[in-house]
A and B are shown apart, each in its own frame.
Chain A
Amino acid sequence: MILNKVLYRSVTVFDLILVAIILVLAMIIGKVVSLYLRRFLKEKLERGHLEILVKIVSYAIAVIALLMILPILGVKLSGLLVAGGIAGLAIGFASQSVIGNLISGLFLMVERPIQIGNTVDIDGTVGIVEDIHIISTTLRTFDGPLVRLPNQKVFTANITSYAANVARRFEYVVGIRYSDDADKAIEIIKNLIKQHPLTLKNPAPMVFVDSLGDSSVNIIVRIWAPATEWFAVKTELLWKIKKALEQEGIEIPFPQRVVWFGDEKRAPQFKGPESTKDSSGDTP
């Protein structure tokens, strides 16, 4: 009978079919378990934790399937202990970068410098972490494309995580005219910040005159907001500050320079457009 036909050593056609069935079953079980885990734990676990749990369960099912398949194919598991070292050495040399990425991936999952859903900057690539695979990490940049980064690069790169803290501070520099009342401007800005629900009460915002610039008195505005909201608050508040200051007659000046002429007798020529006309274009 064809099922009993020996293909090599003691492995028959039946064994191969059995292996195929185990593989298919393992894949189906893996998919179903992942689906149910995602469905039932979606609201109970953070997305990052859930993805790691799903991966661990999927890999565990794959390992169990492999351990079931190997004896059927005539591979003795005890022999793997000896062969494993030699094979590991050979694979290590042959695929250094893959193994490097794989080990980096494991470390990324354990150390968790980044998590799924975080906004991060990895060596200049800024985006939201879409997934952390065993070999690579994918980021979705703010203009849409997905960027795949090898885990080895992610692990050794400088990472700035914008979501590591629950709150984040942002800053404006608001320049007002020298003739304007800086105390009044500070009061207006403080009131606006106080009225905005998403600016944090604590840490308290800071509004103060920072420098006397070339063309303006520069007021620094430092505001804390929840890490998930800071960008929306930042973009919204600046325009409100500008409008509120203008409503109170405080203006943000253009850069300007006062020019003093050394020749006092010629100075009247440059008082206005009329006198400029008379000067026959003789400008300094």
Chain B
Amino acid sequence: MFGHYNVPLSIAQEGISLSVQKDGKNLIYKRDCLGEQFEKHILAGKGKILLNPVEPVNRPKALTSYLLIEFEKALLSKPKETRTIFLRFPLEIGVYISTDTDFEILDIFTLTKQKFTLYGDPRNGVICKYWKSPVYSTIPSLSTLQEGLIDLAVTNTNSHWIELTKAVFNAYGMKLYYNNKTVSMKANINIKTKDTAETEFIDTPLQKGMKKSLEIYASRKISIVKPKFIMEFGL
């Protein structure tokens, strides 16, 4: 489903149907995703459509730029050791319209259930998009349109065994890659102490030949926001 399309177009797949059709001299975009319908008039006669995964923090409302993934089972990390695990994350699909030089987001939709949570306390904490994921040691098979995969390198820089139950990521640093089978991100979590860790993304595809997504948060060009996230309210 992901990729570039010329208009007019019509796609129907896994409960999603979307189309861009001529409406007089202009275009009309229509989308139906699990019964939720959306329409937008496009004041242009032609254009290209790009469909790709975007940072999963926009639906149902862009309240936060943080994604918290809770592990179904806690991890115990060995001192001074780095191990790689795989986590699932919810997918949001971005529809862009483009001219030759410029892309503009037209719509974002998702097939997954949405939930928010609070990381930390109500005074100092942050609202995060919430997702619960099993922890995998090898790459699992997923539904491409519902969930993506985070390749997470867990490094325990501490000299004690440390338990990890969740990871919080900042959408400003997310680097999404996709192919026909998988949507992926690569990230690190560096455990500093029993209660603190730092997460950051790496701009590398999980597999060779994957295409890079056009991200919403990266395209806003906000340079003063740090892409790393410091988890200081517990692991």
Minimum distance in angstroms from A236 CB to a CB of chain B: 12
Q: In the complex, are the beta carbons of B122 and A167 less than 8 A apart?
A: yes
**Chain A binding surface, main DSSP class:** loop
Q: How far, in whole Å, are A200 and B126 apart by their CA atoms in the complex?
A: 12
Known contacts A198-B60, A229-B61, A229-B63; A166 and B117 CB within 8 A of each other: no
User: Does chain B have a CB within 8 A of A39?
Assistant: no
Q: How far is the CB of A160 from chain B (nearest CB, A)?
A: 14
For A168, the closest partner residue in chain B by CB is B122
Inter-chain contacts of A229 with B (CB < 8 A):
61, 63
Contacts of A44 in B (CB 8 A): 222-224
Is the pair B127, A201 in contact by a Cβ cutoff of 8 Å?
no
Q: Digitize A188-229: 1 where CB-to-B-CB distance is under 8 Å, 0 elsewhere.
A: 000000010111111100000000000000000000101011
Contact A226 B116, CB 8 Å, known A197-B60, A198-B60: yes
Whether B113 sits at the interface, judged by CB under 8 Å, is: yes
Complex Cα spacing A149 to B123, Å:
27
The answer, yes or no, to whether B115 is at the interface (CB within 8 Å) is yes
Known: A44-B222, A198-B60, A226-B63. A166 touches B126 (CB 8 A): yes
A166 with B222, Cβ < 8 A, contacts A197-B114, A203-B118, A224-B118 known: no
Q: Which residues of B contact A199 (CB under 8 A)?
A: 116
A164 lies within 8 A of chain B by Cβ: yes
Instruction: Determine chain B's interface SS by DSSP, over half rule.
Output: loop
Interface size on A, residues (CB 8 A): 19
A200–B117 touching, CB < 8 Å = yes
Against A, the Cβ 8 Å flags (1 = close, 0 = not) of B78-93 are 0000000000000000
In the bound complex, how far is the Cα of B64 from the Cα of A261, in angstroms? 63
- Measured CB to CB, the closest approach of chain A to B75, in angstroms, equals 19
Residues of A within 8 A of B119 (CB): 202
In the complex formed, the residue of A with least CB distance to B130 is A201
Are the C-beta atoms of A166 and B127 separated by less than 8 Å? yes
CB neighbours of A283 from chain B (8 A)? none
Verify if B125 is at the interface (C-beta below 8 Å from A).
yes
Nearest B residue (CB) for A197 = B114
Residues of chain A with a CB closer than 8 A to B224's CB: 44
Known: A44-B224, A226-B63, A229-B63. A200 touches B123 (CB 8 A): no
- Residue A198 contacts which of B61, B125, B126, B220 (CB distance < 8 angstroms)? B61
Residue pair A165, B123 in contact (C-beta under 8 Å): yes
- A197's contact among B116, B222, B223, by CB below 8 Å, is which? B116
A263 at the interface (CB under 8 A from B): no
A contact residues around B115 at 8 Å (CB):
197, 201
The interface residues of chain B lying within 8 Å CB-to-CB of A166 are: 118, 122, 125-127
In the complex the two chains form, what is the Cα distance from A165 to B120 in whole Å? 11
- Using known A-B contacts A197-B113, A226-B127, determine if residue A202 contacts B118 with beta carbons closer than 8 Å: yes
Contacts of B126 in A (CB 8 A): 166
List of B residues within 8 angstroms of A200 by Cβ: 116-118, 127
B231 → chain A closest CB, angstroms: 14
CB distance from A230 to the nearest CB of B (A): 11
Give chain B nearest CB distance to A159 CB in angstroms: 16
Q: Does A248 contact B (CB under 8 A)?
A: no
Residue A43 interfacial (CB < 8 Å): yes
- Quick one: given A43-B222, A44-B224, are A198 and B116 in contact (CB under 8 Å)? yes
List chain B residues, Cβ under 8 A from A197. Answer: 60, 113-116
If A43-B222, A201-B130, A226-B127 touch, does A167 touch B63 (CB 8 Å cutoff)?
Answer: no
Question: What 5 new A-B contacts, CB under 8 Å, besides A197-B113, A198-B63?
Answer: A164-B123, A166-B125, A198-B116, A202-B119, A226-B64
Interface of B toward A, CB cutoff 8 Å: 60-61, 63-64, 113-119, 122-123, 125-127, 130, 220, 222-224
Q: Which residues in A have some Cβ–Cβ distance to B below 8 Å?
A: 43-44, 164-168, 195, 197-203, 224, 226, 228-229
